[in-house]
């Protein structure tokens, strides 16, 4: 065993061409775009029509809460997927896992588009909806983590923030595609057409994207960092007892396997909290809140998400470049502080009664409090963790943060706004989420330029 370990440690650095990097970048971007398109399709449907299609026998407020709850259950399945596929990705490689996740997400999303409604089969309809949401979440639980790890491990050190930001750009692309589809449907279909068959179209169209993403990943090479890991022999990571038997005092195996884990994970969880919580409020809850409670056209909130996502194509790579230039911590502190300062003014704009002001508020909230933080998160979380457990820890940090913030947040916001009959709880939640990430950034080490082959965490 020691001979094979020595051979693994002396393996030359894995070589990747510019074409390999481009294929990995497009694959990561497309898979993440599909994940977020699937979830944004669902979240917008939950906010706009699912309360009428699957929960028609309750009041509008209770229907919105129920629809948001079905949105939230997917995050429980995401956690299970993060554990299962994360461990698999750390053991046998990143790319193999990404085949499976794309198939699970695409198939479940397509099947949502053929579900019978409550009017057809009664209570079984929302039961089936929740079941498909769970399958969708199980696959999605490792998709964005796998894409994040893959791109960070492929990227040149000096441009790691920019290249890794393509994952965030994928989320933006998916959000834009889903919001654009819903904006078109709301603009051209009547209420009856939308509720009878129109809502199915976006889910059915995701099947085409799934086929293309799967084809693209067929020719993808494994992460060079995974191949260079000193604990990987013949493409498979050694078990812990094998590493302990082979490790010697002071070598790279000993440094990685004997480090006490936990600090980096909790820092990453805190960094995740602000982005995840803000995303659930801005991209999910506010769409339904505006459509249900404010006297504006039903297409206004989805149009605002479209405009904000378009601006995000500049915001995301800009933040990635600035992170490469000035480091990760400074950008985190600046963006979260700005989100805290703007939380109440943004909500005043959204609830002012002016459509242009509402649009401006949504665009600001999306780009500063969501997309900007996501761009930083994509590279920082990968740099925080050692290569042996990077996939698992990153996936868990993302999904636990998603459960605590993105999944629970819209349900809590729906409840608080219904009780208080005011918008201020939304602004207060934006402040709390952002402050958690601000404090976490203060406690985090600067990870810019870290060697990703190292087995130990950054802290």
Instruction: Give residue 333's pLDDT.
Output: 96
Task: List pLDDT tens digits, range 424-436.
Answer: 999 999 999 999 9
Is 305 within 8 Å of 361 (Cβ atoms)?
A: no
pLDDT confidence bin for 1, thresholds 50/70/90:
very low
Rounded to an integer, the average pLDDT of 291-296 is 79
pLDDT classification of 41: cutoffs 50, 70, 90: confident
Distance of alpha carbon 331 from alpha carbon 336, whole angstroms: 8
pLDDT digits (tens, 9 = 90+) for 349-408: 999 989 999 999 999 999 999 999 999 998 999 999 999 999 999 999 998 988 888 778
Mean pLDDT across 319-335: 95
Average the pLDDT over each of 55-69, 168-182, 279-293 and give the range with the smallest value: 55-69
Kindly tell me the number of DSSP H helices and DSSP E strands found in the chain.
Answer: 22, 2
The SS3 assignment for 236 reads strand
Q: d(Cα 342, Cα 382) in Å, to the nearest integer?
A: 29
Q: How confident is the model at residue 22 (pLDDT cuts 50, 70, 90)?
A: confident
- 103 has a pLDDT exceeding 60: yes
Q: What is the pLDDT of residue 76?
A: 77
Mean pLDDT of 56-81: 67
* Per-residue pLDDT band at 4 (split at 50, 70, 90): very low
134 sits in which H/E element: helix 124-154
| Structure token pair of residue 126 | 């929302």
| pLDDT for res 55 | 65
In this prediction, residue 57 carries a pLDDT of 60
Residue 7 has a pLDDT of 42
Q: Is 327 exposed, middle or buried (0-12, 13-18, 19+ CB in 10 A)?
A: middle
């Amino acid at each position: 065993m020691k001979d094979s370990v020595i051979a693994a440690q002396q393996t030359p650095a894995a070589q990747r061409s510019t074409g390999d990097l481009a294929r990995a970048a497009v694959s990561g971007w497309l898979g993440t775009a599909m994940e977020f398109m699937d979830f944004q399709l669902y979240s917008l449907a939950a906010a706009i029509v699912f309360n009428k299609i699957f929960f028609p026998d309750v009041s509008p407020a209770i229907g919105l809460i129920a629809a948001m709850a079905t949105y939230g259950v997917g995050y429980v399945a995401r956690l299970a997927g993060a554990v299962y596929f994360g461990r698999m990705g750390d053991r046998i490689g990143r790319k193999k896992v990404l085949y499976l996740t794309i198939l699970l997400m695409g198939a479940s999303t397509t099947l949502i588009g053929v579900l019978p409604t409550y009017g057809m089969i009664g209570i079984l309809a929302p039961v089936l909806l929740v079941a498909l949401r769970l399958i969708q979440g199980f696959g999605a639980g490792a998709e964005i983590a796998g894409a994040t790890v893959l791109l960070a491990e492929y990227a040149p050190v000096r441009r790691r923030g920019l290249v890794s930001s393509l994952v965030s750009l994928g989320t933006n692309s998916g959000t834009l595609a889903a919001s654009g589809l819903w904006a078109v449907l709301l603009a051209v279909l009547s209420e009856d057409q939308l509720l009878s068959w129109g809502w199915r179209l976006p889910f059915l169209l995701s099947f085409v994207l799934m086929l293309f993403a799967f084809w693209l990943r067929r020719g993808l090479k494994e992460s060079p960092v995974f191949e260079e890991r000193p604990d990987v022999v013949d493409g498979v990571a050694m078990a812990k007892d094998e590493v302990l038997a082979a490790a010697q005092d002071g070598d790279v195996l000993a440094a990685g396997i004997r480090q006490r884990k936990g600090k980096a994970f909790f820092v990453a969880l805190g960094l995740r909290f602000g982005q995840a919580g803000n995303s659930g409020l801005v991209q999910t809850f506010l769409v339904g809140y505006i459509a249900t409670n404010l006297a504006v056209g039903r297409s206004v909130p989805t149009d605002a998400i479209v405009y904000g996502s378009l601006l995000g194509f500049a915001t995301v790579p800009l933040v990635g470049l600035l992170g490469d230039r000035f480091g990760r911590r400074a950008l985190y502190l600046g963006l979260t502080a700005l989100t805290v300062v703007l939380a109440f003014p943004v909500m005043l704009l959204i609830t002012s009664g002016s459509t242009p002001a509402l649009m401006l508020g949504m665009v600001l909230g999306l780009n500063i409090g969501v997309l900007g933080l996501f761009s930083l998160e994509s590279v920082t979380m990968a740099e925080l963790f050692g290569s042996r457990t990077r996939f698992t820890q990153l996936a868990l940090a993302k999904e636990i943060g998603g459960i605590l913030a993105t999944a629970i947040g819209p349900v809590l916001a729906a409840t608080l706004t219904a009780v208080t009959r005011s918008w201020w709880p939304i602004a207060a939640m934006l402040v709390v989420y952002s402050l958690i990430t601000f404090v976490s950034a203060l406690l985090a080490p600067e990870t810019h330029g870290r060697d990703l082959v190292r087995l130990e965490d950054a802290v």
